[in-house]
Amino acid sequence: MRIPLSGPDITQAEIDAVAAVMRSGRLSLGPKLEGFEAALANYVGARYVVAVSSGTAGLHLMVRALGIGEGDEVIMPSFTFIAVANAVRYERAAPVFADIDPATLNLDPAAVEGAITPRTRAILAVHTFGVPADIEKLAAVAARHHLILIEDACEALGAEWRGKKTGTFGQAGVFGFYANKQITTGEGGAVVTNDEKLAARLRLLRNQGRTRIGEWFEHTEIGYNYRMSELHAAMGIEQLKRIEAILARRAEIARGYSHRLAAGSELLLPLSQFADSKISWFVYVIRLAEKFSRIQRDAILETMGRRGIACGRYFAPVHLQRPYKVAGCSLPVTESVADRTMALPFSNALSEDQIDEVCGALRECIEFASCSKKDGKSATQL
* Phi-psi label, residue 376: left if phi above 0, alpha if psi -120 to 50, beta otherwise: left
Distance CA 174, CA 156 (A): 10
List active site positions.
181
Nearest to 27 by CA among 234, 231, 227: 231
3-state SS track over 137-198: HHHHHHHHCCCEEEEECCCCCCCEECCEECCCCCCEEEEECECCCCCCCECCEEEEECCHHH
Residue 284 has φ and ψ, to the nearest 5°, of -115, 105
**Cα angle for residues 125, 129, 132 (degrees, 5° grid):** 50
Q: Do residues 286 and 267 lie in contact, with contact meaning Cβ atoms separated by under 8 Å? A: yes
Q: In angstroms, rounded to a whole number, what is the distance separating the alpha carbons of residues 198 and 131?
A: 27
- In this structure, the strands spanning 164-165 and 160-161 are antiparallel
Residues contacting residue 316 through CB under 8 Å, at least 6 positions apart = 338
CA distance 52 to 63: 14
Pairing of β 189-193 and β 172-176: antiparallel
Q: How many residues does the chain have?
A: 382
CB distance 138 to 170 below 8 Å: no
The answer to whether 116 and 75 are in contact (CB under 8 A) is yes
| Whether 372 contacts 379, CB under 8 Å | yes
Q: Distance between CA atoms of 21 and 28, rounded to whole angstroms?
A: 10
